[in-house]
Amino acid sequence: MKISKSVFRALWIFALCVVALGAGTFLYIHHLRAALNAELTAYLDEVARQGVGTLNAQIQGDIRSLRSAAEAISTYKILDNKPWTELLENETKYNDFKRMAFILPSGVAYLSDGFLIDLSHRDYFKKGLEGQATVTDPLTDAVDQGTAVILSVPVFSKDEQVRGVLIAAQPTDMYGNLIASDSFDGEGYSLIIKSNGDKVAVSPSSHTDHNASNIFQSPINENLDPEGKMRRDMKEGRSGMIRFFRPEEGWLYASYVPVGINDWYFLSIVPERVAVQKTKNLFWLSLILAGTVFAVFAILLIYIYRQNRQNHATLYHAAYIDPVLRRPNWAKVRQDMDDILTHTQEHNYAFVAFDINKFKVINDALGYAKANELLQYISSVLEGELHEGEFYCRVQADLFVLLLHMPSSGQLRNRLELINEKIVNFHPASKDRFQLILSFGVCPVTDKSLTANDLLLRAVLARDTVKGNYHDIIAFYDDHFRSRLNQEQAVENNMEEALTKREFSMLLFPVLDMDKAPVAAEGYPVWTPPDKPAVDTDVFLRVFTKNGFIARLDTYMAEEACRLLKHWQDNKLPQVPIALNISAASLRSPYFSSVLLQLTRQYGVSPSHLILQLMPHTDPADLPLLRQLAERLHGEGFKLALNRFGRGTVSLDLIQTLPIDMIKMEGELTRDLGHNPKTTPVLSAFIRMAEDLHLHLVFDGVENGRQLELLRELGAHWWAGPYAGGAQPADMLFETSKEKEI
């Protein structure tokens, strides 16, 4: 039977169509596979770099904790080990270390769990004696033979001599859990390795050979690096990616990034099938359907298109959706904000960053589920407060950013205060109760060339200045703020050296009785660098209070006061008590009272000649600890005073609960004498209260003789202020005064 030309032509056209369909399908699938593989490798590299960031943050945080503990230990005599033994136990529990130890220069180590061993042969001990902080490779635990990474820092004395080495052990399993990731539907896994392939830590995964100590010598990884590219890169400190074959899993990708610690590398591995499984199905299906009619071909194209969209949506969701809030994340909103800031001229905008004070404590108290509920509640509040053309999102943890219209700074402040009021009304359905304190940083958008990242950085810097402040929770970034940041940075850069070189001195402000005879002196720190102008006291006190250095300055000023009292005593000069302001950081220290007592004994002065002044804006949460410390100090003979009484809301609580000896009134009340008719009965009531409680009452802020006479008529006894004379250097004041005791 002969085939007609028309049928032959149709069969030929059909065959060409089938070939074209098959070839086109094959090329399309090949291109799709390459594109998905490219996305896979980019995402795998990002997973590795995020893992490096997480690991570095953990280790650097542990090192900072060790340095803080070492600084506390350095204030004690080495033979008196009880205080620092208790410190090791507390720090071990607080930081979830396996154990901590303090190693004497002899190599004898006192462990936080009670053991006493010799670690003189350890390299980290030897490097610590040389003044180096170290992070070791995994070592065998000398106590329980487990595997752990040792972090060590030297403990310095005041003269910068090494008094010992403080170490902490972190089990390698902790780092394995830290780098664990549920990316790639659980198919991927991560390792921390040395450049020679030795394992440091392994994420929990059924795909990992946990028995092999070296990945290049593992039986399941015999084809891991056949060309040696990865080993060459690791030897030279480079990052990279390789593709290798494993018989039971097929082709896999491995991304490796240097950690920046020792010669460690972060290695992230994922099977290629994660990206290509669906495209393989499409490939074989396309070949089978290549011989069907064009309608089936069209259906196949639609199917491929839908699958491509589904894959794209999955990747989009992972890259641009906040997993807690289920809305666009910072990566997506940042692009929208940049577009608005670049092209919109209709509104003035401000970039706002805010977070919750001590969110980690709240997170621990509530648990992750309730903490996420809090974050979702904040999101719902912001959703209801935003106007058209405004944006918000969560950047990380509890840090939120907003792009808001800003008609004026006052209107924006009022709006943020309203948002704050709504957020702090959150109450979880549990027995735990806590006070939410938010901190807002605002950067007005005055330069259209700045990106959202630039604005975020500036808003966060502004936020940091009010972090933990109970009264002022909003700070604006402007030119004055930038100048202030530069000034504060200069203070932080030089504070350690200034304290070592004793560039701080003490000025004394007299406290007089009604006969103008000195009864006490109030000491204030002054920072005078050599050949430079004096540093503004308000500036360096603000910086020191924020970064915690204020506690060391308190100890320094206490020693200066003891030194001055000793000078008066040795030269048979009259003496008066010296009052010193004590920071909240010192009050929270369990060693502060011991340090003060040690200083008075060292200089041979009476504790009763030191008056410790407390500020009225003490955090209510600190009252139990403050009460315990105050009773201990008072029992040792120190005098306690309450400064700036009449300011804040905690003053009366402090008078009722603490063994206060003296009250110093807020100067504004004294300056109102003769101007505000309500001031006289208020001050008179304070005088009667002080007499009933047997307290000395000092009226600060006296500016002229008229105010002094009015105070005399009210029955006041002690006073201070500009009318008493300005501040004088400590070695020149009161050398001719009569000795008076409180």
Q: Model confidence over 200-227: pLDDT tens digits? A: 888 877 566 666 778 888 777 777 887 7
**pLDDT at residue number 573:** 84
In the block, residue with structure tokens 């002229």: 704
Those residues whose C-beta lies under 8 Å from the C-beta of residue 609, and which sit 6 or more positions away, are 565, 575, 576, 577, 578
Q: Which of 513-517, 618-622, 697-701 has the lowest mean pLDDT?
A: 618-622
Residue 694 reports pLDDT greater than 60:
yes
User: What CA–CA distance (Å, rounded) separates 297 from 302?
Assistant: 9
**pLDDT at residue number 711:** 92
Residue with the larger pLDDT of the pair 645 and 579: 579
User: What CA–CA distance (Å, rounded) separates 712 from 670?
Assistant: 12
Looking at every residue in the chain, the average pLDDT score rounds to: 82
User: What CA–CA distance (Å, rounded) separates 574 from 733?
Assistant: 10
3-state helix, strand, coil in the chain (%, to 5): 50, 20, 30
Residue 659 reports pLDDT greater than 60:
yes
Average pLDDT over residues 266-284: 68
Residue 648 Ramachandran class (φ > 0 left, ψ -120 to 50 alpha, else beta): left
Q: Of 272-281, 599-608, 662-671, which has the strongest mean pLDDT?
A: 599-608
Cα-flanking dihedrals φ and ψ of residue 147, to 5°? -110, 130
Neighbours of 40 (CB within 10 A): 20
**pLDDT at residue number 320:** 84
**pLDDT at residue number 612:** 93
Average pLDDT over residues 654-668: 87
Residue with the larger pLDDT of the pair 272 and 293: 272
**pLDDT at residue number 73:** 82
Average pLDDT over residues 540-545: 88
In three-state secondary structure terms, 423 is helix
Q: Of 38-42, 177-181, 439-443, 722-726, which has the strongest mean pLDDT?
A: 439-443
User: What CA–CA distance (Å, rounded) separates 136 from 481?
Assistant: 42
Decide if 256 contacts 241 (C-beta within 8 A).
yes
Token pair for 78: 């080495």
Query: Is the pTM of the predicted complex or chain greater than 0.85?
Result: no
User: What CA–CA distance (Å, rounded) separates 723 from 512?
Assistant: 10
Decide if 612 contacts 639 (C-beta within 8 A).
yes
Residue with the larger pLDDT of the pair 112 and 284: 112
Average pLDDT over residues 720-739: 68
**pLDDT at residue number 556:** 94
In three-state secondary structure terms, 658 is coil
User: What CA–CA distance (Å, rounded) separates 364 from 376?
Assistant: 17
Q: In Å, how far are 119, 159, 233 from 162, measured between CA atoms? A: 16, 9, 38
Those residues whose C-beta lies under 8 Å from the C-beta of residue 585, and which sit 6 or more positions away, are 545, 548, 550, 551, 554
Write down the H helix ranges in 465-577.
479-500, 537-547, 550-570
**pLDDT at residue number 738:** 39
Write down the H helix ranges in 409-451.
409-423
In the block, residue with structure tokens 């997993």: 323
Q: Which is it for strands 662-665 and 99-103: parallel, antiparallel or unpaired?
A: unpaired
Q: Of 35-44, 267-276, 432-441, 716-725, which has the strongest mean pLDDT?
A: 716-725
DSSP state of 285: H
Decide if 636 contacts 616 (C-beta within 8 A).
no
User: Which pLDDT band holds residue 79 (cuts at 50, 70, 90)?
Assistant: low
Residue pLDDT, tens place only, 362-406: 777 778 888 888 899 999 999 999 998 889 999 988 899 999 999
User: What CA–CA distance (Å, rounded) separates 117 from 107?
Assistant: 8
Token pair for 305: 């298109």
Neighbours of 211 (CB within 10 A): 8
Q: Which amino acid is at 251?
A: W
Residue 740 reports pLDDT greater than 50:
no
User: What CA–CA distance (Å, rounded) separates 314 from 277?
Assistant: 15
Residue 547 reports pLDDT greater than 80:
yes
Cβ neighbourhood burial of 190 (10 Å; 0-12, 13-18, 19+): buried
User: What CA–CA distance (Å, rounded) separates 209 from 248?
Assistant: 13
User: What CA–CA distance (Å, rounded) separates 273 from 278?
Assistant: 8
Residue pLDDT, tens place only, 161-196: 888 899 998 888 888 788 876 666 677 788 898 988
Token pair for 136: 């070791």
The residues facing 139 across adjacent strands are 148
Q: Which of 251, 236, 249, 242 is nearest to 216 (CA)?
A: 242
Strands (E), 334-437: 349-356, 391-396, 399-405
Which strand (E) or helix (H) includes residue 50? helix 5-73
**pLDDT at residue number 625:** 80
In three-state secondary structure terms, 520 is strand
DSSP state of 197: S
In the block, residue with structure tokens 């990474």: 149
Residue 604 Ramachandran class (φ > 0 left, ψ -120 to 50 alpha, else beta): left
Residue with the larger pLDDT of the pair 587 and 612: 612
**pLDDT at residue number 725:** 80
Decide if 412 contacts 404 (C-beta within 8 A).
yes
Those residues whose C-beta lies under 8 Å from the C-beta of residue 662, and which sit 6 or more positions away, are 520, 579, 611, 639, 640, 641, 642, 695, 696, 697, 698, 742
Decide if 426 contacts 322 (C-beta within 8 A).
no
